[in-house]
Amino acid sequence: MTRPSLLVTRRLPQVVEAQLAASYDVALNRSDTPLTPAEFREAIQRFDAVLPTVTDKIGPEVLDVPKAQTKILANYGVGYSHIDIEQAKTHGIAITNTPDVLSECTADLALTLMLMVARRAGEGEREIRSGVWDGWRPTHLMGTKVTGKTLGLVGFGRIGQEVAKRAHFGFDMEIVVYNRSPVAPEILARFNARQVRTIEELLPLSDFVSLHCPGGAGTTALIDGPRLDLMKEDAFLINTARGEVIDEAALAQALMFDTIAGAGLDVFEREPRVNPLLAQCDNLVMLPHLGSATQEARRAMGLRVLANLNDFFEGKTPRDRVA
């Protein structure tokens, strides 16, 4: 029996590639470089399934083909705003993602950014590496205490709740939540959290604001200049969600003029390009999209993709089907 053909657009952990190859006729992108739109169009017309990542742009220009051979886009990642869902539907292409398995590691990284920017760890590390540190002194790189502060969470799904757990029980933080839909009272009660109705209400209450909302047209530039102006001058902004959620030019201005105290970013508006204004901001910690970058999470993501593919080609509804 002929096995379904599968294109894997980036290199994955070896154990994942091996298990995919055991069940599918797999083509690997051994150069590990992003595919061009033309290469994606060819793949859509050639392979039964494509395994893209969250940084692959699968827009109208990719899906503008006379006939698609691909029956499923088994996305490696939670977000899928990089895929043109409506255009994929016109070809009858199913779409799956990989929720749950990266929530803990992404929450860990959000706390990492929070601690780094509050305690000026990035500045200190750069000072040591450059050889200019001249020893301890009482006023050197004084940061901000995290314990006991108020954390505002924009989005309160799986990752937001994991961040709340770490912040509330680990750092005794007060949790304030903005979510598009009402959060069940029993979930809020786990973290002694309260939900507010608008982002505008949340921002001035928060010492730290951490973003955990989906990407897409509805959240593009969600945090813009006017909303940054609502934050406290000594507050910090953390983003481990999607880069387009923040207006980076407005953020750079807020950081340069000290209208907020600092920020920590793991994602960027036009990855892998980073707005050069951001690099000029010492009160900013930047990481190269490391939210799920642990061996455990990346393996689990791959195995979740495999489970979705297996369900689909066995005629079942994949547990993580989103379209």
The type of residue at 273 is: R
Strand-pairing partners, residue 223, are 246
Q: Which residues contact 5 (CB under 8 A, 6 or more apart)?
A: 24, 25, 26, 27, 46, 47, 48, 49
Catalytic hit among 242, 269, 298, 304: 242
Indicate if 82 belongs to the active site.
no
The Cα–Cα gap between 309 and 303 comes to: 10
Which H helix or E strand runs over 43? helix 37-46
| Rg, Å, the chain Cα set | 21
Burial group, residue 22, by CB count within 10 angstroms (0-12, 13-18, 19+): exposed
Q: Are 94 and 318 in contact (CB under 8 A)?
A: yes
Of the listed 17, 42, 201, 271, which one is catalytic? 271
- Buried-state track 178-204, b at ≥16 Cβ within 10 A, e below 16: bbeeebeeeebeebebebbeebeebbe
242 is catalytic: yes
Dist CA 270 CA 55 (whole Å): 10
Query: Which residue, among 35, 28, 23, has the nearest Cα to 7 in the 3D structure?
Result: 28
- The catalytically annotated residue of 41, 190, 289, 321 is 289
Token digits for 44? Answer: 């859509």
* β-sheet bridge partners, residue 284: 263
Instruction: Give the residue numbers annotated as catalytic, written as ranges.
Output: 242, 271, 289
